[in-house]
């Protein structure tokens, strides 16, 4: 009787795992099946390397270069903001704050992760963008800069909490060794602890990258949406995700435009897959 129960339980968990994998495969299969037919009409080279996105024009053009550059621009901008903020707060929480302060700050930073992205987007559109426009005397505040700030704040919790885990898991005898050699607290942090946690920190940055590159709502609302390769951080741009979200609602199933959006989804999927694989690799390296 007991073994039967045991077996049943094992099968149920097995089925749950199997189902999750099936979902994953179905998604991959779906986006590839809907997206790949585009390349019968548009060459891969044309799709990735030309800057000409007019999917609904009488003579439609599907050159996604501006969208790819847009995604990378806001993501890198976000990292420039989130890495110092996230790593800084991770160092503060793990190495400097006392236990009481740590217990107070950690949940607040993690709360940032719980705010829905549409709320970030609203804030960016209604408050940040007008301010950015006034501060820098710009034509519009909906641009790479504003989107990077909002995205950056959004991924701070990821970088902060994963980096903090990495820093906290550095054995305390490393800190002792450094202090005993005459290093001050800050020298110990920057020369011994952070280097020892390097892989974990790198991992957090990669996962932050993955999150930012896939974020949709914020860039849809704050990046401006111009399918244009930005020549400065104060120009609007149109990342891959916001293109898919904005255009998918009104395309007709199966036409070229529809396929092109799935082709963008494939591209996005490959980018995030690559970052996750690299992160996995870095992480397993750390374990060794």
Please give the residue ranges that form the binding site for other proteins (CB under 8 A). 26-27, 30-31, 33-34, 51-58, 66, 98, 125-126, 129-130, 133, 139-142, 171, 173-174, 176-184, 187, 191-192, 195-196, 220-221, 224-228, 235-236, 238, 242, 245-253, 257, 262
- DSSP-based three-state secondary structure for 210: helix
Q: Report the b/e string of 93-121 with b at 16+ CB within 10 A.
A: bbbebeeeeeeeebeebeeeeeeebeebb
- Please say which residue, 4 or 58, places its beta carbon nearer to other proteins: 58
- Please say which residue, 3 or 173, places its beta carbon nearer to other proteins: 173
Shortest CB 157 distance to other proteins, Å? 26
Residues 275 and 257: their CA atoms lie apart, in Å, by: 27
Residues 97 and 113: their CA atoms lie apart, in Å, by: 21
Residues 123 and 125: their CA atoms lie apart, in Å, by: 6
- Please say which residue, 155 or 227, places its beta carbon nearer to other proteins: 227
Q: What are phi and psi of 61, to 5 degrees?
A: -125, 135
- Please say which residue, 4 or 59, places its beta carbon nearer to other proteins: 59
| Residue 280: C-alpha distances to residues 38, 172, 208 (Å) | 32, 25, 14
- Please say which residue, 109 or 220, places its beta carbon nearer to other proteins: 220
Q: Report the b/e string of 132-168 with b at 16+ CB within 10 A.
A: bbeeeebeebbbbbbbbbbbbbbbbbbbbbbbbbbbb
Shortest CB 3 distance to other proteins, Å? 40
Shortest CB 181 distance to other proteins, Å? 4
120: CB partners within 8 A, 6+ apart: 150, 153, 154, 217, 218
- Please say which residue, 110 or 176, places its beta carbon nearer to other proteins: 176
Shortest CB 12 distance to other proteins, Å? 25
- Please say which residue, 113 or 247, places its beta carbon nearer to other proteins: 247
Shortest CB 194 distance to other proteins, Å? 11
Shortest CB 26 distance to other proteins, Å? 8
- Please say which residue, 82 or 217, places its beta carbon nearer to other proteins: 217
Tokens of 3: 């073994």
Shortest CB 233 distance to other proteins, Å? 15
Classify residue 193 as exposed, middle or buried by CB count within 10 Å of its CB (0-12, 13-18, 19+): buried
Shortest CB 122 distance to other proteins, Å? 10
Residues 209 and 136: their CA atoms lie apart, in Å, by: 27
């Amino acid at each position: 009787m007991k073994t039967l129960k045991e077996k049943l339980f094992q099968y149920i968990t097995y089925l749950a795992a199997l189902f999750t994998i099936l979902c994953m495969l179905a998604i991959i299969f779906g986006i590839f099946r809907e997206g790949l037919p585009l390349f019968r009409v548009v060459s891969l080279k044309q799709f990735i390397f030309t800057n000409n996105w007019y999917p609904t024009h009488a003579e439609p053009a599907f050159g996604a270069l501006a969208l790819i550059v847009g995604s990378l621009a806001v993501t890198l901008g976000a990292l420039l903001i989130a890495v110092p903020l996230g790593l800084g707060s991770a160092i503060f929480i793990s190495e400097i704050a006392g236990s009481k302060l740590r217990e107070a700050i950690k949940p607040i930073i993690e709360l940032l992760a719980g705010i829905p992205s549409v709320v970030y987007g609203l804030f960016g559109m209604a408050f940040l963008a007008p301010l950015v426009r006034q501060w820098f005397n710009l034509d519009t505040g909906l641009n790479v800069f504003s989107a990077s700030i909002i995205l950056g704040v959004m991924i701070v919790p990821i970088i902060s909490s994963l980096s903090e885990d990495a820093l906290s898991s550095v054995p305390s005898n490393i800190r002792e060794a450094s202090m005993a050699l005459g290093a001050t607290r800050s020298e110990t942090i920057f020369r011994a602890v952070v280097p020892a946690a390097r892989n974990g920190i790198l991992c957090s940055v990669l996962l932050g990258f993955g999150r930012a590159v896939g974020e949709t709502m914020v860039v849809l609302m704050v990046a401006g949406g111009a399918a244009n390769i930005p020549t400065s951080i104060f120009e609007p741009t149109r990342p891959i995700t916001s293109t898919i979200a904005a255009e998918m609602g009104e395309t007709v199933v199966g036409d070229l435009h529809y396929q092109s959006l799935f082709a963008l989804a494939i591209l996005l999927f490959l980018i995030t897959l690559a970052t996750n694989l690299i992160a996995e690799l870095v992480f397993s390296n750390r374990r060794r």
